Amino acid sequence: MTDLGLAIGDRTQFSKTVSESDVYLFAGIVGDFSANHVNEHTMRQTPFGGRIAHGALLVGYMSTCSTAMAQKAADNGCRGVPVALGFDRIRFVKPVRIGDTIRIDYVVAGIESESRRSHAEVTVNNQDDEVVAVAHHIIKWVDE
């Protein structure tokens, strides 16, 4: 265990069925009403066969796991305010359809004690255990 209250290999997980309301509410919040996300008729005529969730919505679900990891660190005695420095190398490998159930796995892959940063590998799988998205996440732990 490091002074960040985390160890390499620590993990969190979040699972959710992506609903139509998730996609529409997210579209309204960010203003992305692309046919990809909100027009079933148009998207049925594409290779996707129907609407797909916003990639940025998946990143939001990834953030849920980083928040859980920050809580785990706090529970383990970490003093500091966790601030996301960013998600790097984000890739949307396969589309996520409305009704898919996704599982986000967030695993601490590195810790920089001196700079108070943690690195995590994030993988999103669908209900068929297919990888649909991946990313690398960095948190900076700001001294209180």
Domain assignment present for residue 2? The answer is: no
pLDDT tens sequence across 30-54: 999 999 999 999 999 999 999 999 9
pLDDT tens sequence across 74-128: 999 888 899 999 999 999 999 999 999 999 999 999 999 899 999 999 999 999 9
The predicted structure's pLDDT at residue 4: 87
Domain assignment present for residue 66? The answer is: yes
144 has pLDDT over 80: no
pTM above threshold 0.85: yes
Domain assignment present for residue 24? The answer is: no
How many folded domains does the chain comprise? 1
Domain assignment present for residue 31? The answer is: no
Domain assignment present for residue 41? The answer is: no
2 has pLDDT over 80: no
Domain assignment present for residue 110? The answer is: yes
1 has pLDDT over 70: no
The CATH number of the domain holding residue 117 is 3.10.129.10
Domain assignment present for residue 132? The answer is: yes
The predicted structure's pLDDT at residue 80: 85
Q: What is the DSSP letter of 60?
A: H
Domain assignment present for residue 71? The answer is: yes
Structural domain span for residue 99: 11-18+55-142
